[in-house]
Amino acid sequence: MPQVRSNGVPAYQRIQGTIVKRLEKGLLKPGDLVDSERELARIHGVSLMTARHALTVLEREGLVVRRRGAGTFVAPPKIHFNKLMSYTEEMSRRGLAVSSKLISLGVIDTEHEIAARLSLPGTSRLIKVERLRLGGDEPFAIETCYLSADEFADLTRARLDRSSLFSVLEQDHGLRIAHADEEIDATTADAHTARLLAIPAGSPVLRIRQQIYSTKAKPTIYVLGLYRSDRHTLFIRRFR
């Protein structure tokens, strides 16, 4: 039975909270060694079993990794997809420094299927924005966004390597984003994707295709995202 503090909170949760606060403040960074079970038990005045349980829960949540014979280490950060947010918002919410590298930005008229997904004629001109998304200095994802060139012509002049596309659309165009329909599957990285994401060619990547709708029920943005599978987790809650 877990040890409990006087206020009724299990002792293992107190240990977890202490470690999580150190992560949030940047006192512990990915790859750093976390106090051992024995040390945590001594610091918090709990049994070895309670300290072990705290680390087990943190490992289950993806915050730490335990290596036999070496110790417990802060895990590389992962992004959890459970709310419709821009990549900038998601990374910031997790306390991670975010940046983007603009790969390409221009107008095309050859993506007939994507134009149709945006409820536009097949030959419509689309703005294509391809960006490499980074967390710190590490590549996390490649995101390619498509929008109507007639409706958002000035996006070709926006500094999308420095700002959130969602923010630009909301602030400069009055767009209100409502929801997204998503298709999610697994694929493998081709040579181009592998080079940008700094992974071996053929590595598994998570592919997410989104049709993002405005509050006017109009599909406004189509996004193709390729995400490093070792840095992203999709959480799904199911009800019976």
3-state DSSP of 25-87: CCCCCCCCEECCHHHHHHHHCCCHHHHHHHHHHHHHCCCEEEECCCEEEECCCCEEECCCCCH
Q: What is the mean pLDDT of residues 38-60?
A: 89
Name the pLDDT band for 102 (thresholds 50, 70, 90).
very high
- pLDDT over threshold 60, residue 89: no
Q: What is the pLDDT of residue 70?
A: 86
Name the pLDDT band for 152 (thresholds 50, 70, 90).
very high
Closest C-alpha among 141, 140, 111 to residue 125: 111
- pLDDT over threshold 60, residue 207: yes
Instruction: Record the tokens describing residue 91, joined without a space.
Output: 């990374």
Structurally, at CATH architecture level, domain 11-74 sits in Orthogonal Bundle (1.10)
Q: Please tell me the least confidently modeled range out of 25-29, 137-141, 143-147, 212-216.
A: 25-29
Q: What is the pLDDT of residue 236?
A: 62
Name the pLDDT band for 205 (thresholds 50, 70, 90).
very high
Superfamily (CATH) of domain 79-234: Chorismate lyase-like (3.40.1410.10)
Q: Please tell me the least confidently modeled range out of 47-61, 101-115, 192-206.
A: 47-61
Strand, helix or coil for residue 126: strand
Instruction: Record the tokens describing residue 168, joined without a space.
Output: 């630009």
Name the pLDDT band for 239 (thresholds 50, 70, 90).
low
Instruction: Record the tokens describing residue 28, joined without a space.
Output: 């512990």
Q: Which helix (H) or strand (E) holds 100?
A: strand 98-108
Domain boundaries, the chain: 11-74, 79-234
Contacts 24+ apart (CB under 8 A), 82-87: 82/235, 84/177, 84/179, 84/180, 84/212, 85/166, 86/164, 86/165, 86/166, 86/167, 87/133, 87/141, 87/143, 87/164
Calculate the CA 198 to chain-centre distance: 17
Q: What is the mean pLDDT of residues 32-55?
A: 90
Q: What is the pLDDT of residue 178?
A: 84
Share of the chain above pLDDT 70, in %: 84
